[in-house]
Structure 1
Amino acid sequence: MLIGMMPSAPSLKPASPVQNNLTMFHLHFSAEHAEAAVCGEFHLVEVREEGSMLIKRFVFDNHPHGANSYLVACEETGEAALFDIGEVAEELPSFLQEHHLTLKYLVLTHTHTDHVGGLPWLVERFQVPVYWNPKEAPILQRTAERRQWDCDPLSLLTHVVLDGTTLSLGTYTFTAYEIAGHTPGGTAFCTDQVALVGDILFAGAVGGTPTPEAYARQIQGIKSKLLPLGDHVRVYSGHGPVTTLGIERLFNPFLT
């Protein structure tokens, strides 16, 4: 789920087709922000490099603004991890093979339906560990019922992530930061260069919350746990474009 509290609804305007002929749109959150690309197809491949870290973005169109899943890999060791899995990602196996990568585990930032829809497929296909925050259990149960999964969703999850848990991926270490608000166990996973934040924080916005109290907890968590990581840290969100903590600290209307 995307944004529950914003100053005003964003406006969409068409842009020129990109090289792969997918029609793109720009989502305007504020004049200060770079424009966000939202894909009109089932999924879009975008690859970025952060040093020796390779980050591939899948955009699933089961949400009006697209839901991002990220394959993160250490090119030095060939180890890869997937952060969220919105739907079945048919291109994932071939991408792993083409780039000589081995999928080590799946990480769930939270368990809303647009971020875990491909969970049963991925577990069956790759048989990898799945890391999650158990405070997400009630939402995951509702997601499984809504999706009509033919399995117990909790049986797919193998490893618990709590605030401060660290995950190794090749030469990189991700630290988990639990920031409740959008969901009870929403968790960001950060190195000293990147932050994969799910629906906790977006370019120019934050994830919607069910109550004012949850909203206050989320804002406090962002300010106390994410912003101190440094302005240079690039933010990979569950929806929308890449941003940085510095841009959000200066221009995000919910944080200023």
Structure 2
Amino acid sequence: MEEKIIKLVVGMLQENCFILYDEDKNAFIVDPGGSSELIIETIEKNELNLKFILLTHGHVDHVGAVATLKEKYDLDVYMSLEDKDFLESPETVRSSTFGLKTNPAKVDHLVKEGDEIAFGDNKIKVIETPGHTLGSVCYLYKNILFAGDTLFNESIGRTDFPESDHNKMMESLKKLKNLDDDIYVLSGHGPETQMGNEKLNNPFMRNL
């Protein structure tokens, strides 16, 4: 049996939260950005054994439910050093995109390029993709890329925030362009896509 993925669209900004689980019901969650009651209901209904939280970056619409889930399930949180203050000290950084607030939570593991996170008999690979934020990362598990707000279906995340860098985003897209065409891209907003489609049809990636 292959792993299964649950997609939940959460919070006021319609962010995609993903829960991946295996045949033993062991699971990890990516970017629980809000709607903690819905996320908990989904975990309980599917009888999942949640192992850890992966965060692609620190914006409030991606981390809003972290504190609640971490406390309820005693979960470790993985995140980049550059973005950790968004979660740990939201009052000291621009944690709000549209006036939304979040409760602080501790980052347990700081991730960087090339790190591998064990899940069952497999590994989740960390790919640094600064641009949308300076600490943005993607997580590659088998043929699935959890892309956060780096790469969307034929678009990319905004780079006009104070913590953004458009030149770094272009370098990150060049890095992602080296991935295989058949990799599924699960983005932080909007529909899923495949890397081959992005190489052909994404105007930001096509001519790199």
Normalised by the length of structure 1, the TM-score is 0.71
The equivalent position to 1:179 in structure 2, one of 126, 129, 135, is 129
C-alpha contact (below 8 Å) 2:30/2:55 kept by paired residues: yes
The residue number in structure 2 matching 1:104 is: 51
Bigger drift between 240-249 and 161-170 goes to 161-170
The residue number in structure 2 matching 1:192 is: 142
Alpha-carbon spacing, 1:70–1:248, altered in 2? closer, same or farther (3 Å) = same
Identity of aligned residues (%): 29
Cα deviation, 1:76-108, whole Å, max 9, x if unaligned, reads x32100001111332334433443420000011
> What aligned pairs does 1:61-72 form with structure 2 within 5 A after superposition?
61-63=11-13, 66-72=14-20
The residue number in structure 1 matching 2:101 is: 147
The answer to whether 1:92 aligns with 2:39 is yes
Q: Which structure is richer in relative contact order (CA contacts within 8 A, separation 6 or more)?
A: 1
Instruction: Give the superposition deviation at 1:219.
Output: 1.8
In 1, Cα distance between equivalents of 2:159 and 2:188: 15
The residue number in structure 1 matching 2:6 is: 56
In 1, Cα distance between equivalents of 2:85 and 2:35: 22
C-alpha contact (below 8 Å) 2:15/2:61 kept by paired residues: yes
The answer to whether 1:253 aligns with 2:196 is no
The residue number in structure 1 matching 2:112 is: 162
In 2, Cα distance between equivalents of 1:146 and 1:250: 36
Equivalenced residue count is: 197
SS at 2:169's partner residue? Answer: helix
In 2, Cα distance between equivalents of 1:207 and 1:148: 21
C-alpha contact (below 8 Å) 1:195/1:235 kept by paired residues: yes
The equivalent position to 1:113 in structure 2, one of 57, 60, 63, is 60
Detail structure 1 runs of 4+ shifted over 4 Å in the superposition.
Answer: none
Instruction: Give the superposition deviation at 1:167.
Output: 1.1
In 2, Cα distance between equivalents of 1:122 and 1:223: 34
Cα deviation, 1:15-47, whole Å, max 9, x if unaligned, reads xxxxxxxxxxxxxxxxxxxxxxxxxxxxxxxxx
In 1, Cα distance between equivalents of 2:10 and 2:41: 18
Instruction: Give the superposition deviation at 1:146.
Output: 5.4
Runs of 5+ unmatched residues, structure 2: none
Q: CA RMSD in A?
A: 2.1
Instruction: Give the superposition deviation at 1:227.
Output: 2.3
Alpha-carbon spacing, 1:148–1:239, altered in 2? closer, same or farther (3 Å) = closer
Normalised by the length of structure 2, the TM-score is 0.86
**Higher Rg of the two aligned structures:** 1
